[in-house]
Structure 1
Amino acid sequence: MKTIIIEDEKPSARRLTRMLSGLGKSVVATLHSVEESIEWFEQNEHPDLILLDIQLSDGLSFEIFEQVEVQSAIIFTTAYDEYALKAFKLNSIDYLLKPIDQEELEIAIEKFSNNQLKKQSLQVDLEQIRKLLVNPLEKNYKERFTVKLGQHIKMFSTDEIECFYSENKGTYVATSNNRVFLMDGTLEEVAAELDPVKFFRVSRKFYVNINAIKDIVAYTNSRLKLALHTFSEHEIIVSREKVKDFKNWIN
């Protein structure tokens, strides 16, 4: 199986190469931009599988497919928030959310090997996902969430919420009055309803509200540590793979 990686962050590309090597898969090329990728596809035999970052240094990776007809299956690697991931699931396109987990990578590769990725629907799927990524504000997002407290149901507006997080297979919401509540559903299900202008996934565990951030401090291994106005039960660390997107988000 011939595989290439298209990823503009070289440390992430090297890490993904090591992970694939650990699964016995070789990478025939690592590309870092839209322009470089177009040139490579025009000059080389197309691979069986592409591990493709959506946001590259010189544009969205969809621009590659406007120039060349790629005859390969694709597994997206993305740091985008969950508002886009629903489109991936509905269209049977596989994706890996950064930072990439070894076990999830193995499952995605096995899925590809079992021919469960549908190459023939690729162009339609890409266009639908592009629309969500380029025009995320066209979607209506939740303005309030509810939790059950015994026989009662409590409501919170998104302005009252500092963060959502997962722990021990549970999903929790932390509010601005320093309360934490257990929610129904998974973090992914909750996140699909969050406005990406207000909320960002800083790690696999945490989504934070931009208005709840009190301080941002440089942390070890090129990461960032966040302090929220009231929530202090857990450290909130922006993973290294998310730092660039996080900085773009807050700006």
Structure 2
Amino acid sequence: MKAIIIEDEKPAARRLQRLLSSLEVDVATMLHSVEESIDWFQANTHPDLIFLDIQLSDGLSFEIFDVIEVKSAIIFTTAFDEYALQAFKLNSIDYLLKPIDDEELEIAVKKYGEFKPTEEKISVDFEDIKKLLVNPLEREYKKRFTAKVGQHIKIINADEVECFFSENKGTYAATTDGRNYLLDTTLENLEPELSPKSFFRVSRKFYVNIHHIKDIISYTNSRLQIKLNSFSEQEIIVSRERVKDFKLWLE
């Protein structure tokens, strides 16, 4: 399996290359800009698979495909950008959130190996996705959720949820009344359903609602600790890799 990496952060590109090497994926080259990628595609046979970041040093990677007709399957490896996530899920092999998790990467590579989509199946409407990225449209996000409580169905309004969290392979909604409700979903499936104006994924385990943050405290290793109005059963820590994006989200 031949692959290339398009990523402007060289340490991240080298780490991804090491992970792919352990999965027996042959990385032909690592490219770091739109211009460099266009030149490479024009001079070389297209690979089976592209590991593609979105924000490159000289523009959006989608500009590559204004010039080049893509003939490869794509796995997105990019920073959190929720308003485009659903489009990527429908049009690509997978979407991996930085920092790349070893197990998620292996699953994505196996998914490609199992299905090996045809050109028709992997064709991506880059113009539509670029519109989402540059001018994200206001879309409807989920306003309520349901949870089974005994023989009853509990309706939970999104604005009543202080946080969503995973525990023991279950996904829970912690509400303002101090209760935790087990949901029939996963954090990954929740991702495109939650408004990015209200919810942010601070770690692999937690989404928090900005309207219910009581305090934010400096924590060890350049991380942050979040205190919510009611939820206090577990520490909520913003992972170091997401602190910068979290601070931008708060503004």
TM-score after normalising by structure 1: 0.82
Superposition map of 1:96-107 within 5 A:
96-107=96-107
Shift of 1:217: 2.4
Structure 1 distance, partners of 2:81, 2:153, is 27
Shift of 1:152: 3.6
- The code of the aligned residue for 2:93 comes to I
- Of structures 1 and 2, the one scoring higher in RCO (CA 8 A, sep 6+) is 1
Structure 2 distance, partners of 1:231, 1:27, is 45
Superposition map of 1:10-49 within 5 A:
10-49=10-49
Q: Deviations over 1:101-160 (max 9, x none)?
A: 323322322332345233334444434444444454432112233333224443333222
> Structure 1 residues 10, 124: closer, same or farther in 2, change over 3 A?
closer
Structure 1 distance, partners of 2:227, 2:195, is 21
- The code of the aligned residue for 1:154 comes to K
**65-74 vs 118-127, which deviates more?**
118-127
**111-120 vs 158-167, which deviates more?**
111-120
Gaps of 5+ in 1: none
**117-126 vs 202-211, which deviates more?**
117-126
Shift of 1:67: 2.7
Q: Is the 8 A contact 2:3 2:26 kept in 1?
A: yes
Equivalent residue number for residue 50 of structure 1? 50
Shift of 1:229: 3.3
- 1:191 paired to 2:188: no
Cα-Cα RMSD: 2.9
Equivalent residue number for residue 4 of structure 2? 4
Structure 2 distance, partners of 1:57, 1:223, is 26
Equivalent residue number for residue 75 of structure 1? 75
Structure 1 distance, partners of 2:142, 2:54, is 25
- The code of the aligned residue for 2:216 comes to D
- The code of the aligned residue for 1:248 comes to L
Shift of 1:181: 1.8
For 1:69, what is the secondary structure of its paired residue?
coil
Q: Which runs of 4+ in 1 moved over 6 A?
A: none
Percent identity, aligned pairs only, is: 66
- The code of the aligned residue for 2:59 comes to G
Shift of 1:170: 0.8
Equivalent residue number for residue 180 of structure 1? 180
Q: Deviations over 1:170-213 (max 9, x none)?
A: 11011234332212222233333211221122222221212233
Equivalent residue number for residue 209 of structure 2? 209
For 2:38, what is the secondary structure of its paired residue?
helix
> Structure 1 residues 25, 121: closer, same or farther in 2, change over 3 A?
closer
Structure 1 distance, partners of 2:64, 2:128, is 16
Shift of 1:58: 4.1
> Structure 1 residues 124, 191: closer, same or farther in 2, change over 3 A?
closer
> How many residues matched?
250
Structure 1 distance, partners of 2:84, 2:230, is 29
Shift of 1:51: 0.5
Q: Is the 8 A contact 1:223 1:239 kept in 2?
A: yes
Q: Is the 8 A contact 2:93 2:108 kept in 1?
A: no
TM-score after normalising by structure 2: 0.82
> Structure 1 residues 118, 210: closer, same or farther in 2, change over 3 A?
farther
> Structure 1 residues 187, 67: closer, same or farther in 2, change over 3 A?
same
Shift of 1:247: 3.5
For 2:100, what is the secondary structure of its paired residue?
coil
Equivalent residue number for residue 239 of structure 2? 239
